[in-house]
Amino acid sequence: MRLDHSQKLKKSLFVAAESLNRADSIWLLGGSCSLLLQGVSLNKEPRDLDVYADTYAIPALHRELDTWAKDTPRLDEEGMYVSVLSHYQIHDYSVELVGGFKITSHGSVYEVKIDDLLYNWAPRNTIQDVSFRLMPLSHELVFNVLREREDRYVAIAEVIRQQPERHSELLKEIVSQNEWSHSHLSLIQDLTGITL
């Protein structure tokens, strides 16, 4: 585990994961914290925790985090993003709970499917005796391509290229189940070396 440099982050993640697991609903840790745990080089230490789930799971997950809630889950349609969003403060870190996430960008539309697709490919991680799963790098790559975060997608692609066979099948599934512009597809292929 690569969070040894930040015991505060580890503490917040442990409490969040322990609480979320009580909901008996599927969720994944995404964002910079997930990237760090999967060996992706980041310019900055994570500032928050991003938790993703399908929309139906949000009420149960919110109940388990309610002690730390800053608001309640609501539909958020901000620019290119659509999701059910809520926020929490666990010790020194803010937590974002994101449900039914969808992103539309320059002719591409990507709907994030946790239960039906991503969970089965999600790497497992453990803090002490609490186990949880991480958002697969194939998702993180296309998400960051769509939001034009070159600093992130280049670093993610470097890790994917080390073992493309671990990521290629899921990446192809994500592509086949969503809508992509030619320019986005070309960039994803160029970054990973995976033919889509």
Per-residue pLDDT tens over the stretch 139-172: 999 999 999 999 999 999 999 999 999 999 999 9
The pLDDT assigned to 6 comes to 81
Q: Which residues pair with 190 in a beta bridge?
A: none
Burial 99-122 (b: 16+ CB within 10 A, else e): bbbebebeebebebbbeebbbebb
Per-residue pLDDT tens over the stretch 172-188: 999 999 999 999 999 99
- Please name each of the domains of the chain with its CATH number: 7-192 (3.30.460.40)
Provide the CB-side half-sphere exposure for 186 (13 A, CA). Answer: 3
Full-model pTM: 0.95
β-strands 48-53, 93-105 pairing? parallel
Percent of the chain with pLDDT over 70: 97
pLDDT category at 17 given cuts 50, 70, 90 is very high
Question: 70 φ, ψ to 5°?
Answer: -100, -20
Question: Cβ contacts of residue 12 below 8 Å, gap of 6+?
Answer: 49, 90, 91, 92, 93, 95
pLDDT at 1 over 50: no
Distance CA 20, CA 18 (A): 6
Per-residue pLDDT tens over the stretch 26-73: 999 999 999 999 999 998 889 999 999 999 999 999 999 999 999 999
Per-residue pLDDT tens over the stretch 102-132: 999 999 999 999 999 999 999 999 999 999 9
